[in-house]
Amino acid sequence: MQDKDFEKLGFKCGLEIHQQLQTDRKLFCRCPPVYRNDPPHYTIIRHMRPTLSEMGTYDGTALMEFKTKKNVTYEFYGDTNCSYEIDDTPPFEMDEKALEISLIIARSMGCHQVDEVHVSRKQYLDGTIPTGFQRTAIISLKGKVPWKKGKDINIRQISIEEDACREIKDEGHEVTFRTDRLSIPLVEVVTEPDAKNPTEAGEMAKRLGWLMRSTSQVRRGSGATRQDVNVSVEGGQRVEIKGVPSLKMIPTITAGEGIRQHNLLKIKGELEKRGLSPDSMEVEDFKTMVHLDVTSIFAGRKVDMFSNWFEGKVKKRSGHKVYAVLIPGFKGLISHTTHYDQKFIDELSGRVRVIACVDRLPNLFSSDDEPARGISKEDLKAVGKELGAKKDDAFILVWGPKEDMETACQEIYLRAREAFQGVPNETRQRISDHTTSFERILPGPDRMYPDTDRPPIVITPELMERVDAQLPQPWWEMWEEMRKASIPDHVMAKLVVSQELSIYKQAVAGGADPRLVAFTLVEAFRHLSRKGVNVKAIPGQSLVFLFNEVSRGVIFKDAVKRVLELMGRESLDPVRAIEKLHIRPITEKRAEKSIRGIARKNPDLLEMFKEGREGPLMGAVMKTLNGYFSGSRAYDIVKSL
Amino acid sequence: MADDTYQGYSGPALELLKRENIAVWDRITVTAGEEEIEGVLLPRSAGDDDHLVLKMITGYNIGITAGNVISIKSDGSRKANYKIPEKEFPFDPKKPNVTILGTGGTIASRLDYRTGAVIPAFTPGELFGAVPELADIANINTKKLFGVFSENMGPHQWKVLAEHIKKEIESGVKGICIGHGTDTMHYTAAVLSFMVQGSPVPIVMVGSQRSSDRPSSDAARTLIGSVNTAAYSDAAEVMVCMFGTTSDRFCYLHRGTRVRKMHSSYRNTFKTLGDVPLGKVEDGKFTYYKKDIKRRRDDREVEIYPHWEDRIAILYYYPNMDPDILESMIDKGYKGIIIAGTGLGHVNKPLYDPIQRAHEEGIHMYMSVQTLFGYTQMFVYDTGRDLLSRGVVPLGNMLPEVAYCKLGWALGHVQEAEPLNKLMVEPIAHEITPREPYNGFVMGQGGMGAVEEFLAEYN
């Protein structure tokens, strides 16, 4: 499908971009924001229970997550975690630097800061946060980022929040989280659904993501920026896809969701055409649900399909069972495509995986499927007969731990019934570069309640003065300037989002050659880093000084990389490094003498040069003169020979 | 009841609300600066005059400076119906009856927005709505005796509690739970250990360190543990049932006279000092660490001694303490003083004279140790012997707070020095133990795995 096809579907996409901030401590405690990969020092176990919201209601997600009955294990480290991270100490004051950076980002997106910041608790019962809620606060509302002709990106709100734990393992009813990432400060930027096609969704994410990075005060590296995308089509629902890790994936993932919603609406239409109604599927007490233990049909045989739970033969008496659920009138729809290689059965499968914790895949098989992997046509007939399935009915087989089968059947039935509404409200997770699967029911405002552990924070004029003094120039303006300086796109792309951007700005403002500075900070830095030179440790002021030495003619630009290498390797300042390398420029006269000598010694190369193959002779010349004399002047001299 | 139209608002913010005729819980649209913001006006916690608090549709709250508000429009009220779903508690004639006495603790609770405090949910129906697992354990009846925070518990409440315990026992319940704020839970536990003697059933104090308005609360688990203990445990003693580790694993049962809150916020804040806990309860199973347990009986007999003397104090000694403090206690007519001395039970020389004077004026003085662990040993050094000769009676390894509770209680019943001293030094409920076991001094007990495993690994 093309972008214009998505526009016809009424495709809409908004983003929630999470960006970790570069701070010295965590948001609500004084622990360092560092990731750990060594074995954890301690573990603790917790369980989460749903609680009432401030408005007196339970949140749907919270109840769903309670159904999963998970044992949550937290891993932590004696030296970089404290009792705050395991919810045994109330929060300390909010990190001021984090608030400042998040306000810089908010202002750079044209948002108005709130007068007073109130920390709220957003419930998460999946265990990602040991308290069971994330501390989060709105810092600003309603902004605009210029985008393209006639179109801005509209910002709905920006909040500051603590990051959640990293998931280490999730198997069945056991889930393990590591608390190292917990409470690292991040901003969440929420946009209006301004993207009308998948390509625009990608553009929006890039524009905003790069804008945040151009502050040079955000964290980089894997997981430091995470995008949640909200997609809907006409007649569909807002569906949130969590944690898209790279900009490149946004167009394919959002396109996939558009197609999925389009197909779910087709399924809905087909159900209506068949004259079916959700009223016949009762889901309060599941009185109308027909489901059976059908283990005995397969007992005594080795069924390859079930081998993820049944080792060897299927046994009637064991901790594992095969169940069947009747889905009346759904024949042919269970195998209906949803997006890419995903079918409607994968919608059911996702719910069973997450809520019933039957997470070894495949976990479902349907009467729409071709007999396979030890399930025969006769088996399906037998199951259908036991269920009393009629010609137009479909049924689903599910297998796994006995105690999870009831929940599994109910989830299948519930999700099948939701086909009548078309697109259910939910949060989805990425399972490949382009496909997604159920994660949880989309949480509502009912899971928010005030955090009473700390008083509200008034945003003072003094703080805003500090913030305004640090606003970055929009990267797209810089982009234009850099293009004028003939810096190629691939170098700009790296530079405008790099930590070295401020050095670039200072050096260029001081009169240095923008192209030299850009190439040095991007390309030379990359080469030298690969060679093991710690260029990142060179102070910014030394770099600016070095670039100025070039403009003042103290050294030639060709020598910059060699100076940097020595500065990095031996922790020297630029003056000492230049001295040590003996690379003060030589006079034109000496250079000419030297070039003539080389030409004399290599008459064959001079011949080639004159025939147009200039490389070999210039190479020999620059090998001697590099760093002492200008390359372009040397070329002129050779040419004049 | 106070008018809560403007709950918590004051100063310019209050004036604005009055002028615009806006009440708390109204759904409003505020125009401030260039913004138009919709939301519900929330009550305000005290301490600020300038800001309105708005709950927006997204669920987030923000504060808006009253002075920046250009206009407010109200669109009707949406008062929070903040209630724990109340369901009828199922009665099962086969299950034991347990009574939960409420003092105002935070077992099941909701938030009060003005103060940020936590209000308990307490009826059996509310408890069943919040912790349905309770119905699998016992038939529960609840009685709310007071609604006070634990720091406001005192002699009156202790006395009422003791009387209600007697009434419940006589009515035939199989066990009693007492919901209590954790700050002073160990004081109440100690007092009840003296006021209620010879109970035939368990008396279990319970609270929570994380209120039940948060998903990671310990409330449900401590409540389940304590109801299990009240209904089925064989120990007919006054106990505290709280988390044994910070993990959601098990609760320790601490004896009322040996337990102390040792951390301001950890879940496993309660520790048994100078001994190991009486036992633990995990998933309804009991493990007893002590052998000398008073066993559950079938009768309904219990003695209560609910009297109390108010004029007593703990004198926490520190180096360079001025004798004035003790002098003024004598002048003010105190009747008994628990000294929390250094080391084995010492104070400095300048205090000798007022101690001598107090003794002569008939003030009863007892020595406990501020080390919390270990015994008073006042014969080891001259200082100790000097104090003994001035009438200070050592209390062995009785904890200073427990000694305070015992003295207030004892003086309520006996005033003569000789029988009083006898009553103070003869243990009633393990407040002084004859010996301290090797594993009695473990600050980390329960914090790092079971006590024995910890000792095996680290000692």
Could you report the per-residue pLDDT of A61-80, keeping only the tens digit for each? 556 666 667 889 999 888 89
Of A123, A444, A450, the CB nearest to B61: A450
Of A54, A120, A141, the CB nearest to B111: A54
pLDDT at A584: 72
- Closest residue in B to A111 (Cα) is B35
pLDDT at B83: 56
Instruction: Give the lowest-confidence range in A21-30, A244-253, A571-580, A631-640.
Output: A631-640
Kindly tell me if the per-residue pLDDT of A598 is higher than 80. yes
Instruction: Give the lowest-confidence range in A67-71, A113-117, A121-125.
Output: A67-71
pLDDT classification of B122: cutoffs 50, 70, 90: low
Of A141, A447, A456, the CB nearest to B59: A447
Strands B392-394 and B364-369: parallel
Distance CA A355, CA A404 (A): 9
How far away is chain B from the Cα of A84, in angstroms, using its nearest Cα?
10
- Asked if B275 is an active-site residue, the reply is no
Helix (H, G, I), strand (E, B) or coil at A338: strand
Same domain, B267 and B142: yes
Residue B143's CATH number: 3.40.50.1170
Kindly tell me if the per-residue pLDDT of B414 is higher than 60. yes
How far away is chain B from the Cα of A53, in angstroms, using its nearest Cα?
8
- Predicted confidence (pLDDT) per residue in B342-367, tens digit: 999 999 999 999 999 999 999 999 99
Same domain, B170 and B276: yes
Q: Inform me whether the C-beta atom of residue A41 falls under 8 Å from chain B C-beta atoms.
A: no
**Active-site residue, selected from the candidate residues B99, B103, B106, B222:** B106
- Predicted confidence (pLDDT) per residue in A195-207, tens digit: 999 999 999 999 9
A552 burial type by CB count under 10 A (0-12 exposed, 13-18 middle, 19+ buried): exposed
What percentage of chain A exceeds 90 in pLDDT? 61
Which of A247, A250, A178, A185 is CA-nearest to residue A219?
A185
pLDDT classification of B445: cutoffs 50, 70, 90: low
Residue B339 falls inside a structural domain:
yes
CB A555 within 8 A of CB A583: yes
**Active-site residue, selected from the candidate residues B183, B246, B371, B386:** B183
Angle between helices A540-551 and A574-581 (to 10 degrees): 50
Helix (H, G, I), strand (E, B) or coil at A7: helix
What percentage of chain B exceeds 70 in pLDDT? 88
**Active-site residue, selected from the candidate residues B166, B174, B261, B335:** B261
CB B106 within 8 A of CB B214: no
Residue B54 falls inside a structural domain:
yes
pLDDT at B116: 44
Same domain, B114 and B210: yes
Q: How many inter-chain contacts (A to B, CB under 8 Å) are there?
A: 146
pLDDT at B446: 43
How far away is chain A from the Cα of B262, in angstroms, using its nearest Cα?
13
Distance CA B308, CA B163 (A): 14
Non-local CB neighbours of A397 within 8 Å, separated by 6+ positions = A294, A322, A323, A324, A364, A365, A366, A375, A383
Per residue in A394-411, is it b (16+ CB within 10 Å) or e — as a string?
bbbbbbbbeebbebbbbb
Would you state the structure tokens that stand for residue B325, as one six-digit string?
């403090």
Task: Flag if A54 and B80 touch (Cβ within 8 Å).
Answer: yes
pLDDT at A301: 93
Task: Flag if A112 and B247 touch (Cβ within 8 Å).
Answer: no
Task: Flag if A83 and B266 touch (Cβ within 8 Å).
Answer: yes
Same domain, B160 and B258: yes
Beta bridge pairs of residue A504 = none
Kindly tell me if the per-residue pLDDT of A174 is higher than 70. yes
Domain closes at, from B262, B278, B304: B304
Task: Flag if B48 and A456 touch (Cβ within 8 Å).
Answer: yes
pLDDT at A374: 93
- Inter-CA distances, A413 with A288, A408, A620, Å: 10, 9, 78
Task: Flag if A123 and B215 touch (Cβ within 8 Å).
Answer: yes
How far away is chain B from the Cα of A87, in angstroms, using its nearest Cα?
8
Q: 10 Å Cβ neighbour count for A569? A: 15
How far away is chain A from the Cα of B220, in angstroms, using its nearest Cα?
9
How far away is chain B from the Cα of A494, in angstroms, using its nearest Cα?
36
Same domain, B112 and B155: yes
Kindly tell me if the per-residue pLDDT of A590 is higher than 90. no
Domain closes at, from B272, B287, B304: B304
Largest Cα–Cα distance in chain B?
80
pLDDT at A557: 81
Residue B174 falls inside a structural domain:
yes
Same domain, B152 and B248: yes
Helix (H) or strand (E) holding A100: helix A96-108
Of A112, A132, A142, the CB nearest to B216: A132
Residue B316's CATH number: 3.40.50.40
Pairwise pLDDT comparison (A583 vs A77), residue with the higher score? A77
Same domain, B114 and B18: no
Task: Flag if A118 and B245 touch (Cβ within 8 Å).
Answer: no
Task: Flag if A133 and B214 touch (Cβ within 8 Å).
Answer: yes
The length of chain B is: 459
- Closest residue in A to B62 (Cα) is A118
Residue B454 falls inside a structural domain:
no
Please report how many Cα atoms fall inside a 13 Å half-sphere around the Cα of residue B329, on the Cβ side.
Answer: 25
Residue B348 belongs to domain spanning: 312-425
What percentage of chain B exceeds 90 in pLDDT? 62
- Which residues in chain A are contacts of B58 at CB distance < 8 A? 157, 445, 448
Written in H, E and C, the secondary structure of A20-34 is EECCCCCCCCCCCCC
How far from chain centre, in Å, is Cα A301? 45
Kindly tell me if the per-residue pLDDT of A559 is higher than 50. yes
DSSP code of residue B284: T
Per residue in B346-372, is it b (16+ CB within 10 Å) or e — as a string?
bbeeebbebbeebbeeebbbbbbbbbb
Task: Flag if B63 and A117 touch (Cβ within 8 Å).
Answer: yes
Strands (E), B117-273: 118-120, 139-144, 175-179, 196-197, 203-206, 238-243, 251-255, 259-261, 270-272
pLDDT classification of B443: cutoffs 50, 70, 90: low
Task: Flag if B214 and A131 touch (Cβ within 8 Å).
Answer: yes
CB B386 within 8 A of CB B353: no
Residue B85 falls inside a structural domain:
no
- Closest residue in A to B115 (Cα) is A452
For range A9-32, the mean pLDDT = 96
**Active-site residue, selected from the candidate residues B103, B142, B182, B184:** B182
B394 burial type by CB count under 10 A (0-12 exposed, 13-18 middle, 19+ buried): buried
Q: Inform me whether the C-beta atom of residue B214 falls under 8 Å from chain A C-beta atoms.
A: yes
pLDDT classification of B455: cutoffs 50, 70, 90: very low
Residue B67's CATH number: 2.30.30.520
Q: Inform me whether the C-beta atom of residue A45 falls under 8 Å from chain B C-beta atoms.
A: yes
First vs last C-alpha separation in chain A: 62
Beta bridge pairs of residue B30 = B37, B72
Residue B431 falls inside a structural domain:
no
Kindly tell me if the per-residue pLDDT of B156 is higher than 60. yes
Q: Judged by CB atoms within 8 Å, which residues 225-284 of B form the interface with A? A: 245-249, 263, 265-267
Would you state the structure tokens that stand for residue B73, as one six-digit string?
């429009």
- Which residues in chain B are contacts of A131 at CB distance < 8 A? 214-216
Check: complex ipTM more than 0.90:
no
Q: For A488-570, where are the alpha helices, taking DSSP H only?
A: 489-495, 501-509, 514-519, 525-530, 540-551, 560-570
First vs last C-alpha separation in chain B: 59
Kindly tell me if the per-residue pLDDT of B333 is higher than 90. yes
- Which residues in chain B are contacts of A142 at CB distance < 8 A? 35
Q: 10 Å Cβ neighbour count for B57? A: 11
Sign, CA dihedral B341-B342-B343-B349, equals negative
Which of A614, A605, A602, A603 is CA-nearest to residue A639?
A614
- Which residues in chain A are contacts of B34 at CB distance < 8 A? 112
Same domain, B280 and B394: no
- Predicted confidence (pLDDT) per residue in A379-388, tens digit: 999 999 999 9
pLDDT at A500: 86
Same domain, B241 and B340: no
- Asked if B183 is an active-site residue, the reply is yes
CB B408 within 8 A of CB B308: yes
Distance CA A207, CA A222 (A): 19
Would you state the structure tokens that stand for residue A552, as one six-digit string?
């003042």
Task: Flag if B60 and A137 touch (Cβ within 8 Å).
Answer: yes
Angle between helices A615-625 and A631-640 (to 10 degrees): 130
Q: Judged by CB atoms within 8 Å, which residues 432-491 of A form the interface with B? A: 444-450, 452, 455-456, 458
The length of chain A is: 641
Beta bridge pairs of residue B440 = none
Distance CA A219, CA A23 (A): 8
- Asked if B382 is an active-site residue, the reply is no
pLDDT classification of B104: cutoffs 50, 70, 90: confident
Distance CA A537, CA A543 (A): 11
Strands (E), A328-361: 337-339, 342-343
User: Does pTM surpass 0.80?
Assistant: yes
Task: Flag if B215 and A52 touch (Cβ within 8 Å).
Answer: no
For range A369-388, the mean pLDDT = 94
Q: Judged by CB atoms within 8 Å, which residues 26-85 of B form the interface with A? A: 32-35, 37, 42, 45, 47-48, 50-51, 53, 55-65, 68, 78, 80-84
Radius of gyration of chain B (CA): 26
Which of B130, B181, B116, B128 is CA-nearest to residue B153?
B181
Distance CA B109, CA B118 (A): 6
Of A56, A90, A159, the CB nearest to B60: A159
Pairwise pLDDT comparison (B253 vs B455), residue with the higher score? B253
pLDDT classification of A107: cutoffs 50, 70, 90: very high
- Closest residue in B to A85 (Cα) is B266
Residue B140 falls inside a structural domain:
yes
How far away is chain B from the Cα of A451, in angstroms, using its nearest Cα?
9
Which of A131, A54, A53, A122 is CA-nearest to residue A91?
A131
pLDDT at A203: 94
How far away is chain B from the Cα of A462, in angstroms, using its nearest Cα?
16
Domain closes at, from B276, B304, B332: B304
- Predicted confidence (pLDDT) per residue in A335-358, tens digit: 999 999 999 999 999 999 988 889
Same domain, B27 and B164: no
Non-local CB neighbours of B405 within 8 Å, separated by 6+ positions = B187, B190, B191, B194
Same domain, B338 and B300: no
User: B148: phi > 0 → left, psi -120 to 50 → alpha, else beta; which?
Assistant: beta
Q: What is the mean pLDDT of chain B?
A: 87
Rounded to 5 degrees, φ, ψ at A409 are -60, -45
Distance CA A270, CA B7 (A): 54
For range A564-574, the mean pLDDT = 89
Q: 10 Å Cβ neighbour count for A639? A: 10
pLDDT classification of B8: cutoffs 50, 70, 90: confident
For range B215-221, the mean pLDDT = 88
For range A288-299, the mean pLDDT = 94
CB B439 within 8 A of CB B452: yes
pLDDT at B172: 95
The domain total for chain B is: 3
DSSP code of residue A521: I
For range A181-190, the mean pLDDT = 96
Task: Flag if A52 and B82 touch (Cβ within 8 Å).
Answer: yes
pLDDT classification of A606: cutoffs 50, 70, 90: confident
Of B35, B78, B216, the CB nearest to A141: B35
- Asked if B106 is an active-site residue, the reply is yes
Same domain, B340 and B291: no
- Predicted confidence (pLDDT) per residue in A453-499, tens digit: 888 999 999 999 999 999 988 888 888 889 999 999 999 988 888 88
Residue B119 falls inside a structural domain:
yes
pLDDT at A620: 83
